[in-house]
Structure 1
Amino acid sequence: MRAIVVGAGIGGVTAAVALEGCGWQVLVLERSAELGEVGAGISVWPSSVAALEQLGVVGVQKAAVTAGPAGLRQPNGRWVVEAPDLGVEIPVMIHRAQLHELITDRFGPGVTVRTGITVTGVSQDDSGVTVRSADEEFRAELVIAADGIRSVLRSAIHPASKGPRYSGYTAYRGIADVDLSDGGGETWGRGQRFGFAKLIDGRVYWYATANREAGLPPGPGGPQADVTRDFVDWHEPIPQLLAGTPPEQVLQNDIYDLELPLVPFGTGRVVLLGDAAHAMTPNLGRGACSAIEDAAALARHLRGDLDLSTALSRYDAERRPVTARLVKQSRMIGRLGQIDNGVLCVVRDGVLGVGGKVAGLLAKRRRVEQSPV
Structure 2
Amino acid sequence: MEAITIIGGGIAGLALAAGLDRDRFDVTIHEQRPGLPTVETSLAMWPEAQGSLAVLGILPEIRAVGATFGGMALRDAAGDAWVSPEVRGVLGVSRADLIRLLGAAVPRNVRRAEGKVDDIPATGPLAAGLLVGADGVHSVVRRAFWGPKANARLTPYVALRGILPVPVEANAGGEYWGRGQLFGITPASSGRTYWYASFRSELGPAGVGAAEVLARARERFDAGAPAVRNVLEQATPESTLAQRIWTAPDLGSFVRPGAVLVGDAAHGMTPNLGRGACEALVDAVTLAELLNTRPVGEALREYNRQRLLRTRLLRVASSAMTRLALAERAQPLRDRLLRLAAR
TM-score by length of 2: 0.91
Query: After superposition, where does 1:119-158 map in structure 2 within 5 Å?
Result: 119-123=118-122, 130=123, 137-138=125-126, 140-158=128-146
Q: CA RMSD in A?
A: 2.2
- Sort the Cα spacing of 1:115 and 1:325 in 2 relative to 1 into closer, same or farther, 3 A: same
Could you tell me which residue of structure 2 aligns to residue 297 of structure 1? 286
Question: Which AA in structure 2 matches 1:235?
Answer: A
Whole-angstrom distance in 2 between the partners of 1:45 and 1:329? 16
Could you tell me which residue of structure 2 aligns to residue 8 of structure 1? 9
Deviation per CA, 1:10-64, whole angstroms, max 9, x where unpaired?
Answer: 11111111114674221100122x3333551111111101111112223111111
Shift of 1:189: 0.3
Structure 2, gaps ≥5 residues long? none
The 8 Å contact of residues 263 and 277 in structure 1, kept in 2 or not, is answered as no
Could you tell me which residue of structure 1 aligns to residue 264 of structure 2? 275
- Sort the Cα spacing of 1:175 and 1:263 in 2 relative to 1 into closer, same or farther, 3 A: same
The 8 Å contact of residues 69 and 88 in structure 2, kept in 1 or not, is answered as no
Could you tell me which residue of structure 2 aligns to residue 170 of structure 1? 158
Q: Which runs of 4+ in 1 moved over 3 A?
A: 20-23, 137-140, 216-221, 353-357
The 8 Å contact of residues 120 and 126 in structure 2, kept in 1 or not, is answered as no
Query: After superposition, where does 1:9-28 map in structure 2 within 5 Å?
Result: 9-20=10-21, 23-28=24-29
Could you tell me which residue of structure 2 aligns to residue 324 of structure 1? 312
Whole-angstrom distance in 2 between the partners of 1:288 and 1:225? 28
Question: What SS does the aligned partner of 1:347 have?
Answer: helix
Match of 1:191 among 157, 180, 185: 180
Whole-angstrom distance in 1 between the partners of 2:288 and 2:106? 15
Match of 1:66 among 65, 68, 77: 68
Could you tell me which residue of structure 1 aligns to residue 338 of structure 2? 352
The 8 Å contact of residues 168 and 214 in structure 1, kept in 2 or not, is answered as no
Whole-angstrom distance in 2 between the partners of 1:91 and 1:107? 25
Shift of 1:119: 4.0
Could you tell me which residue of structure 2 aligns to residue 50 of structure 1? 51
Deviation per CA, 1:207-238, whole angstroms, max 9, x where unpaired?
Answer: 01111236278689522212112113321321
Larger Rg: 1
Question: What SS does the aligned partner of 1:120 have?
Answer: coil
Shift of 1:354: 4.1
Shift of 1:89: 4.6
Tell me if 1:107 matches 2:106: yes
The 8 Å contact of residues 120 and 144 in structure 2, kept in 1 or not, is answered as yes
Shift of 1:105: 1.0
The 8 Å contact of residues 223 and 250 in structure 1, kept in 2 or not, is answered as no
- Sort the Cα spacing of 1:177 and 1:109 in 2 relative to 1 into closer, same or farther, 3 A: closer
Whole-angstrom distance in 2 between the partners of 1:69 and 1:174? 20
Structure 1, gaps ≥5 residues long? 124-129, 132-136, 358-373
Question: Which AA in structure 2 matches 1:99?
Answer: L
- Sort the Cα spacing of 1:28 and 1:356 in 2 relative to 1 into closer, same or farther, 3 A: farther
Aligned residues: 338
Deviation per CA, 1:303-347, whole angstroms, max 9, x where unpaired?
Answer: 22x321111011111101111111110000001111112xx2232
Whole-angstrom distance in 1 between the partners of 2:90 and 2:340? 24
Could you tell me which residue of structure 2 aligns to residue 36 of structure 1? 36
The 8 Å contact of residues 42 and 93 in structure 1, kept in 2 or not, is answered as yes
The 8 Å contact of residues 7 and 117 in structure 2, kept in 1 or not, is answered as no
Could you tell me which residue of structure 2 aligns to residue 127 of structure 1? none
- Sort the Cα spacing of 1:146 and 1:219 in 2 relative to 1 into closer, same or farther, 3 A: closer
Could you tell me which residue of structure 2 aligns to residue 360 of structure 1? none
The 8 Å contact of residues 161 and 263 in structure 1, kept in 2 or not, is answered as no
TM-score by length of 1: 0.84
